């Protein structure tokens, strides 16, 4: 039985990977104002089976319902470019080039992490992480992985890349009971997201890999080491220069104590 489910998972993963390679083009779909999105949501009278199918049959409506649950949703225009770049550099460097999953990124992450002896890069795409944050439970099963791939595919075909990044930064957990970039900015720095410096942006981007462990209010040294890694990756991918990376690391974070 286990071999049967493993075979199904491999087939599904291969199909999605092939599709993403074939359709490996940047999305240019314009953003749609939240006020114009369909407001439909499953009624309380629907049984569990129908509710379970709702995200698959009405994906955009289901995702918009999740976005409306974020009380302090921040638009991509109010999120510093340095934070966007820091997140892409560490979480999904080919974000604007691949589809729902990134087979190349998965292979590179495995190699980098094996060579360094620690987890430096993740293999999941930002789209996959959005699905984990909004629709799925933390359980690690083949069924859940198949659901993640299907929903990530639907996400990529309903939203532009900028919209996906925006949703991610508003639903990701940053530690210290902070979900979303608005809460993280205020809890750690007492600042609006748009006012974040390169130093602060790189610190926040580093938290995404292990929010509780890298929480700078609890584990400052680990958070700083992770920040250094983020700045190094940004310089390596030419978002910033080495001098900018070094200067940002020396800069005061103005953490709230």
Q: What is the pLDDT of residue 159?
A: 97
Q: What is the pLDDT of residue 37?
A: 37
CATH architecture of 48-250: Orthogonal Bundle (1.10)
pLDDT tens digits, the chain, 257 residues: what are they? 444 434 444 444 444 444 443 333 334 344 444 433 334 444 444 455 567 788 889 999 999 999 999 999 999 999 999 999 999 999 999 999 998 887 776 666 567 655 766 555 556 899 999 999 999 988 888 888 899 999 999 999 999 999 999 999 999 999 999 999 999 999 999 999 999 999 999 999 999 999 999 999 999 999 999 999 999 999 999 999 999 999 999 999 999 97
Tokens 């934070």 belong to residue:
83
- In the numeric block, which tokens belong to residue 44? 């309380």
Are the beta carbons of 140 and 169 closer than 8 angstroms? no
Q: What is the pLDDT of residue 102?
A: 79
Q: What is the pLDDT of residue 220?
A: 97
Q: Using the Cα atoms of residue 167, residue 173, residue 177 and residue 178 in order, give the sign of their dihedral.
A: negative
- In the numeric block, which tokens belong to residue 17? 């990977």
């Amino acid at each position: 039985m286990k071999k049967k489910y493993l075979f199904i998972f491999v087939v599904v993963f291969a199909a999605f990977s092939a599709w993403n390679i074939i359709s490996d083009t940047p999305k240019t779909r314009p953003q749609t104002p939240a006020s114009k999105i369909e407001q439909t949501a499953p009624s309380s009278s629907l049984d569990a089976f129908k509710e379970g199918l709702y995200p698959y049959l009405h994906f955009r409506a289901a995702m918009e319902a999740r976005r409306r649950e974020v009380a302090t949703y921040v638009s991509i225009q109010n999120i510093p470019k340095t934070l966007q770049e820091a997140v892409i550099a560490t979480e999904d460097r080919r974000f604007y080039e691949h589809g729902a999953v990134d087979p190349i990124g998965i292979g590179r992450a495995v190699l980098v992490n094996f060579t360094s002896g620690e987890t430096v890069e993740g293999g999941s795409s930002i789209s996959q992480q959005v699905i984990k944050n909004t629709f799925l439970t933390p359980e690690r099963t083949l069924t859940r992985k198949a659901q993640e791939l299907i929903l990530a595919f639907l996400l990529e075909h309903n939203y532009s890349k900028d919209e996906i990044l925006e949703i991610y930064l508003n639903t990701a957990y940053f530690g210290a009971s902070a979900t979303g970039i608005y809460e993280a900015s205020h809890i750690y720095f007492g600042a609006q997201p748009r006012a974040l410096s390169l130093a602060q942006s790189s610190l926040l981007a580093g938290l995404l890999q292990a929010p509780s462990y890298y929480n700078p209010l609890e584990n400052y040294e680990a958070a700083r080491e992770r920040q250094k890694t983020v700045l190094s990756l940004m310089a390596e991918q030419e978002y910033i220069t080495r001098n900018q990376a070094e200067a940002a690391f020396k800069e005061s974070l103005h953490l709230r104590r």
